[in-house]
Chains A and B, each alone.
Chain A
């Protein structure tokens, strides 16, 4: 089942991940340490109420249970890790323990990708795609340096998608429900799941008894039974997760923790989505208005001049363009997800490629939420790239081109997460290696490599990341003078161009 080659591959990955232990880790490290302490030291009823530290528990219950299990091991490893008041504890034993838990939990992803390769028929390309996903810069930067548990969570997602590829839809749906109870950000792709399961699993077609030639009719009984099974499974999962808290009457508290809406439209660093381009356009117009006073001298909101990307997380207000309330992002996201729904609805009769269409829909749903969502983190690019990576097992040239563009831009947009000088070489080398391998080794279904598929302009864009790197990371900060926000804004806007282009390309490719 697990070949020698994949073991060797796993060991290479593990080797690099172990070597990265002394690298920079962000406040997320303290967040998770705090959660280990909370779940270990306090009874269940206090988990979502504890706010001794600013890093309160804001993931759904299954993740809290995971932290509890880990905290038992942590207590054995070094009891000071789970002390509640030991804020900011980052001794070597703590770093080693937590990094080790990330590495071990990522084995779930490895196993899931193994299953995916099997479900794809074990082709060489699917192995390459799985390998590129497992060792993607996204996981290395975000999980193993910055510190998070995405590998584990995406492992569950890949398992769910692999089950769908094998045709075991009920299991896929249940796994997705489990995933939602680990991290609720995956709710963005829930519509794709819902529509797919309803159309694929819950709709059972039987040939017409009297006119078998004229097609199939919906078997209401069997469909209802399946719907009931699916519904029960999902309800059971949620009950197991939220039940104890519902019994304690803590659901409103959970809701306020899981869905904090007080933050601004853009993160301190603009994730390269539509709103980044919007904010940039706003700034350009501010600049232009100095030369064209007639443009909006009366309307310029002076508070907008000082806002956004001053490093603080607050409400983003714009000076020239209209402000964006949360409801507008919600509507925009829903509208942008329509192509995803179209992909699924139109494929309901094409059973063979059903799961391919399903993954495409997942990608488009995730993409829409990334492009138009409220307070999107740049880390959310993983939600698009992982399913899209699965599609590169057997891609059309268009898909491959968009994958190349998006992965380069998307992984590059993670660079500001690792801002230290020490990590400069690591991020550059990792991304270069990955991009070289992806462009050379991935081939379209016609056997043309990814680099050859790219159009000339697209190749220029991909290569353009190198001067961008030199300009934003290697030039000393004094070169920018008063425009200290310029490097981050440049990265944001340049990668946003690629991300938007890929989005339009994928919509064209999948939905039209």
Chain B
């Protein structure tokens, strides 16, 4: 039991160590003027939020990294910028700190990511797994926490490339946590925070909405719950946009910045159905942008509809007065979150390859129910991120984390699904071979001059195919999930 006592501290420390060691390596836009990359963007936002009044935040110098995330990111930038100003004002000096890349400024920025992740994401993971799966032994639970915290994709994007996705995903995990505790108002508030941090959380919105709506129908005080939820949502949004409340022009500008509909179907190469199709069928030249927008919207809606409708019906339905037990409802919610966000990733407009982190987060919560599927999903997701990581000079962390993840998931503490069919195991091996082969070809064989992006395209095609398969699989699993129905205490009281 000594090992049990130190398991959690050692896990947390090790996760911290790995993150910091990855942070030693390169980041997005390192040493590449004039625009640099995401690292510089975040630094720039710290500078402008600290020095300017909120009314100017969404207007200031839009050509050089204008703010294009919702207000909570702006507030977070302001807080970090304020701390930076205390430590060393030159890091956030208005206009003069553009492109600043000193050793200490890099360390400061890396620290902000780690601190924010430790405050928002890590506690959610630990609490979620401490309270679930109590019938599994502690080694298995600890291994799950360890695996989730050492998930390569989030570490490499947040602590390597440099972003703050862990805050958005952390709020999403809190949403799931409060769903498990049946505290729906807090759940709604957390999801609003997630949404207000990065608009990409909209990928999850249909599932969350379906879940809460079903709970309203299910609950005996449904109308009251609905009104309360509405008030919470409006209240949270209101608090966030308080500085801009007075002026509708301001609010409109925020919307314009946050939802840039003027951009194209996709930017750069992403493992998305549209990008994959575009290799053969040049959609962008065949149709105009508004048509493509509508096409994407329709396709996405068709894609996420089955899982969200199923979630709604399953949570709402009661058979012989029995409601869904909370744990099962949450499990169903996780599946729906995966399916919904994966639908958006595959079929939506202006998707970035980093958005694969969104389906990954709820998928990792299902690491007990779907061990081999989640494991495989992470591997392919990491592979799909390689072109981006390669540009940032993060090859060594990529390889270390890729091999590390494979070793981690094959160690005895992690539950391998004993009922994994042999066909699946073989398929998994083959996909690994394909990925390694593409990497090897990339390193040894230069691409032909007529196809300079050959390997990126191969990467996209392979990843997209795999993601479509995962999408189908997770949908299948959600729709056939065997649910345990237990008499809810409230309906029992009602009957009596």
Contacts and interface: CB of A to CB of B under 8 A. Distances in A.
B24 A436 contact: no
B9 A426 contact: no
Given A421-B107, A425-B20, A436-B9, A441 B403 contact: no
A426 B114 CA distance: 13
A433 B25 CA distance: 22
A429 B12 CA distance: 10
B104 interface: yes
Contacts of B103: 422
Contact of B16 (A23, A421, A425, A436): A425
Interface string A431-450: 01100110111000000010
Interface residues of B, number: 28
Q: Which among A16, A440, A449 has the greatest number of chain B C-beta atoms within 10 A?
A: A440
Given A20-B21, A429-B16, A432-B13, A440 B396 contact: no
Interface in A284-338: none
A426 B21 contact: yes
Contacts of B24: 19-23, 422
A8 interface: yes
B140 to A, nearest CB: 17
Nearest to B106: A422
B10 interface: yes
A440 B21 contact: no
Contacts of A440: 2-3, 5-6
A433 B10 CA distance: 6
Interface in B7-27: 9-10, 13-14, 16-18, 20-22, 24-25
B220 interface: no
B404 A15 contact: yes
B283 to A, nearest CB: 41
Interface in A1-30: 8, 11-12, 15-16, 18-23
A429 B411 CA distance: 24
B478 to A, nearest CB: 33
Contact of B13 (A11, A12, A429): A429
A389 B104 CA distance: 37
Contacts of B396: 18-19, 21
Nearest to B397: A19
Given A11-B403, A422-B103, A433-B13, A16 B3 contact: no
B16 A15 contact: no
- Name the interface size band of chain A: 20 to 34
B477 to A, nearest CB: 30
A8 B104 CA distance: 35
Contacts of A426: 17, 20-21
Interface string A402-432: 0000000000000000000110011001101
B411 A8 contact: yes
Contacts of A425: 16-17, 20
Contacts of A15: 400-401, 403-404
Interface in B392-433: 396-397, 399-401, 403-404, 407, 411
Given A23-B24, A426-B17, A433-B17, A12 B404 contact: yes
The A contact surface, by secondary structure, is helix
A22 B396 CA distance: 11
Contacts of A11: 403-404, 407
Nearest to A18: B400
Contacts of B17: 16, 425-426, 429-430, 433
A432 B9 CA distance: 9
Interface in B210-233: none
Interface in B126-175: none
A240 B12 CA distance: 51
Contact of A8 (B13, B397, B401, B407): B407
Contacts of B6: 436-437, 439-440
A465 to B, nearest CB: 15
A100 to B, nearest CB: 11
Contacts of A451: 2
A436 B2 CA distance: 10
B21 A16 contact: yes
B22, B403, B407 — most chain A CB neighbours (10 Å): B407
A40 to B, nearest CB: 26
B10 A437 contact: yes
Nearest to B17: A429
B400 A421 contact: no
Contacts of B104: 421
User: Which of B2, B25, B103, B401 has most A Cβ within 10 Å?
Assistant: B2
Most chain B Cβ neighbours within 10 Å, of A12, A22, A430, A437:
A22
A19 B22 contact: yes
Given A19-B400, A432-B13, A441 B21 contact: no
Nearest to A430: B17
B402 to A, nearest CB: 10
Nearest to B4: A440
A310 B493 CA distance: 79
Interface string A353-389: 0000000000000000000000000000000000000
Nearest to A432: B13
A440 B2 CA distance: 5
Contacts of B22: 19
B232 to A, nearest CB: 38
B108 to A, nearest CB: 10
A437 B2 CA distance: 9
B10 to A, nearest CB: 5
A440 B3 CA distance: 6
Given A18-B396, A20-B21, A436 B10 contact: yes
A422 B10 contact: no
Nearest to A449: B2
B105 to A, nearest CB: 12
A22 B3 CA distance: 32
A484 to B, nearest CB: 20
B3 A433 contact: no
Contacts of A422: 24, 103, 107
A425 B114 CA distance: 11
25 contacts: A8-B407, A8-B411, A11-B404, A12-B407, A15-B401, A16-B18, A18-B396, A19-B396, A20-B24, A21-B24, A22-B25, A421-B104, A425-B16, A429-B14, A429-B16, A429-B20, A432-B9, A433-B10, A436-B6, A436-B13, A439-B6, A440-B2, A440-B3, A440-B5, A451-B2
**What 10 pairs between A and B have smallest CB-CB spacing?**
A19-B21, A440-B2, A429-B17, A22-B24, A440-B6, A15-B400, A436-B6, A425-B20, A15-B404, A433-B13
Given A15-B404, A18-B400, A426-B20, 16 more contacts: A11-B404, A12-B407, A19-B18, A19-B21, A19-B24, A19-B396, A19-B397, A19-B400, A20-B21, A21-B24, A425-B20, A430-B17, A436-B6, A436-B10, A439-B6, A441-B2
